[in-house]
Amino acid sequence: VVDSLEDADFIVFHGTDVIRGPGKDGEAKETDFGNFQVTGDFTQIDPILKLAAELNLVGIGANPDFVAVQPNGKHTNMPG
């Protein structure tokens, strides 16, 4: 886990809600993606993905699904 993309060797895509990274004194720092899972809005995610692409970082998808079916039958967005 690193403080910035510039220090990363790769990115792991897992889940849809937050980016987790190191925070002060070893505490986990989280950056919220808002309502991406429901809306599919990439507004908060695009700048991160664009920088990762500029840095030629490899992305590893822990779950390659594009959508998930929730218990209520609704389809939601996933990071695949």
List the end-to-end C-alpha distance of the chain, in Å, as a whole number.
Answer: 21
**For 5-19, how does the pLDDT look when each residue is reduced to its tens digit (9 = 90+)?**
888 899 887 766 666
What pLDDT was estimated at residue 9? 92
pTM: 0.68
| Tokens linked to 40 | 């599919």
CA-to-CA distance for 41 and 8, rounded, in angstroms? 25
**For 14-63, how does the pLDDT look when each residue is reduced to its tens digit (9 = 90+)?**
766 666 666 666 666 677 777 777 787 878 778 888 999 999 999 888 77
Contact 45, 26 (CB under 8 A): no
